[in-house]
Amino acid sequence: MKFSNVILQSAAKVLVFIIMIYSIYILFAGHNNPGGGFIGGLITASAFTLLYLAFDVETVRDIIPLDFKIVGAIGVMLALLTGLASVLLGDNFLFQYYEYVNLPLLGKTGLGTAFVFDLGVYMAVVGTTMTIIRSISEDE
């Protein structure tokens, strides 16, 4: 008996977007509010897991054609490169630059290199969690 449920699938189609938007909000809110890369990555991974619960493995692979091992590796590389960039500019390893910039649509916004580090943590967490879940669920 193949499990397919119309109610779960159509609910998942709506809910995945809400969860993804909220995880990206959490990722950006990390500097001044509760949140950050780790919890944002876990929320994104839970959205992907909801897709896996509602649809087939093949369907989800078509929707998200990502190799999550590579996503995790890129995340760790990003975190390392933000540390090395400050060394190249003559400061300590992982020195944080923070500046207020006038962006065209958002106005005065604080941009820090800590966000790039957080993005690296986010991608590493998404990659690790989805690799674990995929490798457990595909075992036959």
Partner 1 sequence: MTKIAEILLGVVVLLGAIIAVISALGLIRLQDVYLRSHAATKSATLGVLFILSGVFLYFWIFQHHFSLKLLLGILFVFLTSPVAGHLNARAAYRSGVALWKGSVKDALKETAQNERREGEQKNR
Distance CA 133, CA 138 (A): 9
When asked if residue 22 is in the footprint of partner 1 (CB under 8 A), the reply is yes
Q: How far apart are CA 80 and CA 6, in angstroms?
A: 44
Stretch that binds partner 1, among 6-14, 57-65, 70-78, 107-115 (CB under 8 A): 6-14
- Residue 11 as a binder of partner 1 (CB under 8 A): the answer is yes
Q: Which of 4, 13, 17, 18 binds partner 1 (CB under 8 A)?
A: 18
Greatest extent of the chain over all pairs of C-alpha atoms, in Å: 63
**Which of 42, 46, 37 has its CA nearest to residue 82?**
37
133 binds partner 1 (CB under 8 A): no
Which residues contact partner 1 by CB under 8 A?
Answer: 1, 5, 7-8, 11, 14-15, 18, 22
